[in-house]
Amino acid sequence: MTSKASDGAATRILVTGGAGFIGSHYVRTLLGPHGPGNVAITVLDKLTYAGNPANLDQVRAHPEFSFVQGDICDPALVGRLMAEHDEVVHFAAESHVDRSIDGGAEFVRTNVVGTHTLIDAAHRAGIKTFVHISTDEVYGSIDEGSWPETHPLEPNSPYSSAKASSDLIALSYHRTHGLDVRVTRCSNNYGHHHFPEKVIPLFITNLLDGKKVPLYGDGGNVRDWLHIDDHVQGIELVRTGGRAGEVYNIGGGTELSNKELTQLLLDACDASWESVEYVEDRKGHDRRYSVDCTKIREELGYVPRKDFATGLAETVQWYRDNRAWWEPLKERAAL
């Protein structure tokens, strides 16, 4: 590890959860040929079931990349790392709603206690900027219209409640201590390297194997879909140009019911509705999410660039071509 950057040196960014789906894509993008070129990244990841070292193979040999396996709830480790970095982008979280319904303790530990451990260490180390990655699920459910960032938080699952708590803890360090904290709340992400417990990769991999896919309830739950390229674009706009103490919604602009999404996935995988199995609806299942992205668009110039048809086709093809990546994950998780 090196000391904090001096003037003209690369900005050292600590990325928590950087071996996961979105975090690893953020790291690959920043250290890739079209990245900013003035950053050095350390990934801190516990490598739980959803963290995959293979997600970072593309950048492992990069001179500005380093990896630390560790727990964001470990104050000694976190404190040492904060002292060596300039900025933090905090992805690390337990994020699967179904798992949180089965048991919420690990969600509270990681999402709430872990975030507090990080933000407190960031304050004490004098971190320049702390970007906290959150979710639209903290707003609850909305029948019509879209949530602005000022909407009250009304989470309905143990997962979203833990994320809402982490948002408030992070923002409190801005209001109390003046730490530059910026929060992003994204809609449902999709794309390559997505752990196959989430709906799109689960459905794709099941259908490619000729298996059934489970559709909750009547399939009428509505989500906005955001490609990981666009999410990373939004996060970088917030990191480099956002305002301290502010929240920014990041959406993809494609609202689909789960039934509509299922039809698109069936078509893409050359399957029929005979492959669909209706299952009992999830407890407390939010009916609809929709974020208002006016703020990030007007302040930072954010516009989603990946149309859903193209993004979905690319995603399906990636899973067709990368069985060696996802088959072992499904076997270990018994999905």
Which of 86, 94, 120, 137 is catalytic? The answer is 137
Per the annotation, the verdict on 106 as an active-site residue is: no
Per the annotation, the verdict on 45 as an active-site residue is: no
CA nearest neighbour of 92 among 76, 77, 70:
70
* Section 283-304 average pLDDT: 95
CATH of region 191-223+254-281+306-328, choose from 3.40.309.10, 3.90.25.10, 3.30.470.20, 3.40.190.10:
3.90.25.10
**What are the residue ranges of CATH 3.40.50.720 in the chain?**
11-189+227-250
Query: What average pLDDT does the structure give for the chain?
Result: 95
pLDDT the model gives residue 121: 98
pLDDT digits 0-9 by tens, 7-37: 668 999 999 999 999 999 999 999 999 999 8
CA distance 34 to 40: 15
Which of 136, 167, 224, 236 is catalytic? The answer is 136
pLDDT at 154 exceeding the cut of 70: yes
CA distance 266 to 262: 6
Q: What band does 103 get if pLDDT is binned at 50, 70 and 90? A: confident
Domain spanning 11-189+227-250: CATH superfamily: NAD(P)-binding Rossmann-like Domain (3.40.50.720)
Per the annotation, the verdict on 209 as an active-site residue is: no
Which of 159, 173, 248, 319 is catalytic? The answer is 159
Give the Cβ contact number of residue 328 at 10 Å: 12
pTM exceeding 0.85: yes
**What are the residue ranges of CATH 3.90.25.10 in the chain?**
191-223+254-281+306-328
Q: Which residue's entry shows tokens 């999402």?
A: 111
pLDDT the model gives residue 6: 56
